[in-house]
Structure 1
């Protein structure tokens, strides 16, 4: 089982105690798996028209009267304390209403850290925020300036004068490795795995490979910068935030500012990209504190530079992977050791070492990772955390082993594909990894791949094809709720405090509710993005769709019982039990005798009711206690490498995915392609540049931090097995992150096939090739 699964299990057990075996799911498929109407179709996102017209209001676009604009002053040292702070020139600057420092800031509590056992917490680090003169990383906020316009605030911020007493700081990765710590667990899974005497089997193996793979620090760069529009009204807090964890953010605000939960309102109907970054960081807390101090609403909209200094990303990793196999290619030992940066104040584990525990059958394992505790910005979750850097190392190593064996890389994976969880022995809920490989290999034309590197050439260009496996665990969060309301016309209205970050949450759940309730799409609406709606967990870990689907399913079951009670005896449904009815044609009908039917509108009218509501919860994800549950992919890359310059040009990417049932082909294809583009950036261009002398991030703009743009992106094909998982709601597993994992390794393996040069250090820049 994986880190997310085990974290959820820990939360379930913490609440329920040790779960009895009788509570485990029986694996009965959801009836909607085989009853497709709206689900599975090519539905466009329902938020698309408003976004195209500019009618969608994001966090930095909410209108408020008497609004002030915030600008931040960042520290320029990595560790020490403020010796002198002069804000007089800033306070005297035109339009300035307030300069807030640790001297005059309200008392602010430390936000509760993000955790899968506390879904109302969203903090990313454990440090006090503007409460003392101490400096913990280069870029920490030391002053907040509020002014009538953003330009005035930015100008005044440049007038703040700060003098520091610097202290020795730990900012160098290599030096930090010498005192790295070994945590007992990564999230809640035991860190050290030692099974089957891997060291001895490695020494005795017929074929071995042993390499070190490195991935750089990567920063978030969503199209919408982090922002919030904040107001205090009659002692209550209103925050329009760009967040992917609405209730967790609201709960954290309540904790930090000593408020009742009902006195905090967080709204976030649209988020312009999250990927793990849109949680609770210092800027929202400081904005709320400044608004309270100034007595006026405040807008915080981070610049790209401030985002890089305040919002954590993917940690730097160094991973040693050693594989051993017999002469037939069967794995006998898998060793995965490594280092990742995790400052002491960070709450995020980058669990790269957990990847190899689920992918392949192996006789023995020796796996552990260490934390390098530097004085840097806290790292955080970034699309496919853990598995994304982990698959780069594991899948490059598998390609090296295939080359050492003289074996086709797909054949090597076929011989080692796990038929159950390799470590625990738990059965898979559903797994068709090699079926995905067959689909992808046919689409890319794998037969054209040259078995030997440096074989195919077109002028100055060496041509190569590579592949890699991607993986990400299935997760479903407990406690997610949804309300279904039927109105007098028999139309349905679904509501939940879920988040829409562009992946089509509302669209898919509208399809789901329409199918579940037997209604056409046009008679179903979905409302999300507001903390006043029923509780929903964060949008992360590829968990939201399954969690919300389970809640809607539970709500519909309650609704059916309520409708039957309202219908009474004066109905064609009289005498039927709940398990003898189904939703159909805008009402309820008998399963055995479809002619016995009554519409929602008719039932409500006879009962004298204008509407009827029911709330359902997703429940505890007990399926992960019994089954090993993972989505997998087969990623293929075809590219060219210039013999003259070392330039890499990717011509094609193909992703074949085994993710359970696909609920909306159009939005799913978009999610897969977006994830693969993010993986392409990891492979070729993305790297947060750190000056290790000062701890200062140097790549603080999109000119310096290179994400793929249109001309960088090749033709991308996506395919899927569409095999339902009988242990999940709707037979579906999450797809938000699986698209990214495996891509960097596929690109690196294609580069080796083209050039014979093995590059183990991302990104794959031309200087590393020649």
Structure 2
């Protein structure tokens, strides 16, 4: 009947066409609920109390007066909180960040360390009581500032080996006709998503449920199972709508504290981080001090490449910002040495942040390439073309596709690069000095095993269930289009349900691997379901469901080097009398696999490029040596680019499907920020003739550099 007729109307072509977000109306009307606003009966509210010293021990927690305040039901701290198990390796192959293992000891490793949780009947009562709680400390000396001369640096493997080397570096540098030897720095940067971190925990019928804002419900569930020594079947994590994450929304102190309180009180407890608390508890991008040495022959072909990146880590958890890793993909040389090193300081633990490693590393590397082009008298795009590798410079693996030069060629055509006068400081418009710059971009295109279930419903529609996370990327919509094409139906007949750990294991929203990993699983399940369904046959009331597991299929991807690539172009105007830098226009051309939804994809590219403007000109978290804390730990003091900073920004792509992916996807979430800051910095050099190697390029630095030039 209707069901059979509908299912026989085969439709394809959804992938690759612009489609508004399937949940867009719910979001703009307020129907979409976020973790901090979902109602629960008998809900209590927790407020974290953070340390006021940067290093030391807790001598006492004076909780008795607070327990007598209106509405307060409990105060948890290291003397009464449930014990946690932290001796395990988590879902991502790493040990848990001890920052999330709250209230387990009396040590304070940094300013803003969680020392107590006050729980009350209302959020206002919890906050008032938390601010009244007196904690006494035995304070110890601390060190919070990273510099190239920081003692105690050591190499650290992260999501890549710390050191990669081939060839005799000193000999190759000595034989080079042109050498660049420069140091570059990037500051501490913070994620600052629109939605603060929030979680509500409750026990019901012997099962723990956490409603959370995260980048992977299965990830958070797995960590809670291990931390609290629970049966995996007894934990469910839901995270339907997420207002941004960028790497920060993993397992944090607030979720663990909420579970602790819900366990103690046997009632739902919600813990929401304030914006200021997020600067201490949500992770951040470490500052970096990088040295790049390039040696080339007179024609600009690289003979030697050295990239050393120093970042910081906390005293309780090792995390490396692998800025030197980008060189291992981008350029080859006879002698090729890269190393990522860290220094332990008394600071909060850094973490993954959009394009970890590639974002700061590309600033140093692509700035150094621009300096080499200047010294060689070669156009920056031509220099990169002369150093285009045939295989992975370190891995030796063939590329699954490397359309970097196609991005540069098309980008140069659209941007008007051929009309550029290469001489710096010669183009003026009134008081403004004008300049243009470019830089390359790359980011790995990986995939991780995931599971998905696709159900053919009796009414002719389909339901997809997968523990994916849409953190603003449009993943829910992309998966709708992917499923519709494989099922040969219209997108409006597909409902995608995500953000629930009960749906089974799935990749997190991170590493630009989310949509690719989930799309692979959805495609496999949808394809098998379509093959099972008999044309014209009725579907039973309970539907027909097929579940996929892509573990075996994805295992074959290691035979090639897979990356998304891009070319960034920027035009800036610099006022030499005030030091003001304005980005007039930007263009990014990308080779990032098959584009599933052009509308949301362009949004992701432009978002990354806008972040690059922030990185180049605005973002800078500065620590006070005396207190160990940040100046202006809020969105008033921590500046990011706004609409007024982005008058014209364009993003587009060249055809670049991955031949080994069932949909052709590579990944787009992070490549947009890579190289953007370098393109702007290179444009500032072209405008002024002065090279800026320290980000951000603040007005005072422009003025100082101008006087010193």
Interval containing the TM-score (normalised by the shorter chain): over 0.9
Aligned match for 1:81, one of 52, 57, 67: 57
The residue number in structure 1 matching 2:538 is: 604
Superposed counterparts of 1:682-721, under 5 Å: 682-721=615-654
Aligned match for 2:550, one of 613, 618, 636: 618
Which has the larger displacement, 73-82 or 613-622?
613-622
* Offset of residue 234 of structure 1: 3.3
Distance 1:255 1:702 in 2: 35
The residue number in structure 2 matching 1:672 is: 605
What are the Cα deviations for residues 377-407 of structure 1, in whole angstroms up to 9, with x where unaligned?
Answer: 0000000001001100000000000000111
1:181 aligns with 2:154: yes
* Offset of residue 324 of structure 1: 0.7
Superposed counterparts of 1:304-323, under 5 Å: 304-323=275-294
The residue number in structure 1 matching 2:116 is: 143
1:533 aligns with 2:503: yes
Which has the larger displacement, 548-557 or 205-214?
548-557
Kindly tell me: are residues 175 and 334 of structure 1, through their superposed partners in 2, closer, same or farther at Cα, counting changes over 3 Å? closer
For residue 377 of structure 1, give the secondary structure of its aligned residue in structure 2: coil
The residue number in structure 2 matching 1:585 is: none
Kindly tell me: are residues 476 and 134 of structure 1, through their superposed partners in 2, closer, same or farther at Cα, counting changes over 3 Å? same
Distance 2:71 2:499 in 1: 34
* Offset of residue 169 of structure 1: 2.4
> Alignment RMSD, CA only?
1.7
* Offset of residue 698 of structure 1: 2.4
TM-score when normalising by structure 1: 0.87
Distance 2:632 2:102 in 1: 24
The residue number in structure 2 matching 1:413 is: 384
The residue number in structure 2 matching 1:740 is: 673
For residue 177 of structure 1, give the secondary structure of its aligned residue in structure 2: coil
* Offset of residue 428 of structure 1: 0.7
Aligned match for 1:50, one of 15, 26, 30: 26
Task: Give 5+ residue unaligned stretches, structure 2.
Answer: 1-10, 704-709
Which has the larger displacement, 608-617 or 747-756?
608-617
Distance 2:687 2:97 in 1: 42
CA contact (8 A) 1:171 1:695 kept: yes
1:328 aligns with 2:262: no
The residue number in structure 2 matching 1:544 is: 514
Distance 1:297 1:632 in 2: 46
For residue 155 of structure 2, give the secondary structure of its aligned residue in structure 1: coil
1:489 aligns with 2:421: no
CA contact (8 A) 2:91 2:219 kept: no
* Offset of residue 176 of structure 1: 7.5
* Offset of residue 92 of structure 1: 1.9
Superposed counterparts of 1:353-502, under 5 Å: 353-478=324-449, 480-502=450-472
CA contact (8 A) 2:145 2:623 kept: no
* Offset of residue 246 of structure 1: 0.6
The residue number in structure 2 matching 1:226 is: 197
Distance 1:88 1:610 in 2: 56
* Offset of residue 284 of structure 1: 0.8
The residue number in structure 2 matching 1:724 is: 657
What are the Cα deviations for residues 484-509 of structure 1, in whole angstroms up to 9, with x where unaligned?
Answer: 11122332211101101111111111
Kindly tell me: are residues 55 and 492 of structure 1, through their superposed partners in 2, closer, same or farther at Cα, counting changes over 3 Å? same
Distance 2:372 2:451 in 1: 47
Task: Give 5+ residue unaligned stretches, structure 1.
Answer: 1-34, 568-597
For residue 670 of structure 1, give the secondary structure of its aligned residue in structure 2: helix
CA contact (8 A) 2:111 2:347 kept: yes
Distance 2:278 2:243 in 1: 14
The residue number in structure 1 matching 2:524 is: 554
Which has the larger displacement, 101-110 or 277-286?
101-110
Distance 2:410 2:351 in 1: 34
What are the Cα deviations for residues 72-105 of structure 1, in whole angstroms up to 9, with x where unaligned?
Answer: 2111112210112212332222221111111211
Distance 1:345 1:759 in 2: 34
Runs of 4+ in 1 over 6 A off after TM superposition: none
CA contact (8 A) 1:124 1:380 kept: no
Q: How many residues align?
A: 692
TM-score when normalising by structure 2: 0.95
Kindly tell me: are residues 215 and 416 of structure 1, through their superposed partners in 2, closer, same or farther at Cα, counting changes over 3 Å? same
Kindly tell me: are residues 717 and 271 of structure 1, through their superposed partners in 2, closer, same or farther at Cα, counting changes over 3 Å? same
CA contact (8 A) 1:439 1:719 kept: no
CA contact (8 A) 2:218 2:504 kept: no
For residue 572 of structure 2, give the secondary structure of its aligned residue in structure 1: strand
1:39 aligns with 2:15: yes
